[in-house]
Structure 1
Amino acid sequence: MWAKCGSRFLDAVFGVLTQVTMAVPSFFLGILVTYLCGIVLKWFVPGGYISYQENMTGFLAYLLFPAISIALPKIAMTARFLRNSMLTEMKLDYVRTAYSKGCSKNQVMFGHVLKNAMMPVITFLGMMIAEILAGSIVVEQVFALPGIGRLLISSVGTRDLPVVEILILYITFVVIFVYFIVDILYRVIDPRIRKSE
């Protein structure tokens, strides 16, 4: 009984944490991180970007905070999506069949359920990676990073059309390449796709 109550409590805490983290936009999280870590704790200088040519360690340390503000909502979305997908898979007949064959819980979870639950999650991760590689424009503005999004905005403002065209082509290439990798992963993970061809 206590184990069941503890499990429900952990599920509720997980649900609340992921929901709150998903609800906070990356740019607002970036403002909070800048205020807390930059102004209050003084772990970095807000707007004080350090180039990798000057100091590689300082460059990586400065990129840590934008990475956190971009990654936290994405991690929460992925965790919630994977959990829902696994709960859906756990209700299917093949799980009961695997248990009746004598498979342990770890064998069922990692050998069967996780593999099948990863299919929709891979699609979501592909979209998310394409979005991150294409440039997180607002987060770059919050942390004053000289990134692709910032270059695209300034190029549109100055009507530098060749640069805009190149950046649009780059973003298109990144999205197509990521979806190509996702299609390859489908074939690796799910043997049914290979057999249907």
Structure 2
Amino acid sequence: MKHLIIGVMILSSLLVFSACSTTTKTNTEKKVTLNQEQKSTSVKATETSRSQKSNIIISSDPKAKETIVNFYQYLNEQKYHEAIKLLGPQLQFEGNPDNIKYLKNYKKATFLELKDISDNPGLIDNGYSNYYAIKIYYGKINVEVRDRNLVPTLEGMNYRKFILIKKDKTSPWLIDTDEATPPIK
């Protein structure tokens, strides 16, 4: 009887140990899976590629391109309030009293190239999925400024990436990103 009790105790211990190691293994597997999902999610949360973006308009839209051209034309003509109307939410701060000096610093901007790259835009922030439509352009612009010290890198040849948005079907195109980018060949 004593051996039977010891045997049952050993068997119970083995079963408890086995259950604990299975739980530990399962928890470890869950942690690994969770970490992989977190990594995947964090990448998806910041940027996505063209294949995942259904709101990128691939077809030509002259109004979108016109928005960029008009913006720089307004700067050339010193019509800053008209230029500001063409800016999306991310760039609206340019019209604030503390920042308008940067727009006023443009003396002359001349496009040497303005190319629709919506079919191959590279990485785009996932925040743009909230808009009805977006288009992406690449621009090569020669810029003359009034004060070289205000933004020392602005004078001369600029390579820019523009992201334009439409908030809804009837809204106008707005420039929501205007950033430096490496030259495209």
TM-score normalised by length of structure 1: 0.22
TM-score normalised by length of structure 2: 0.24
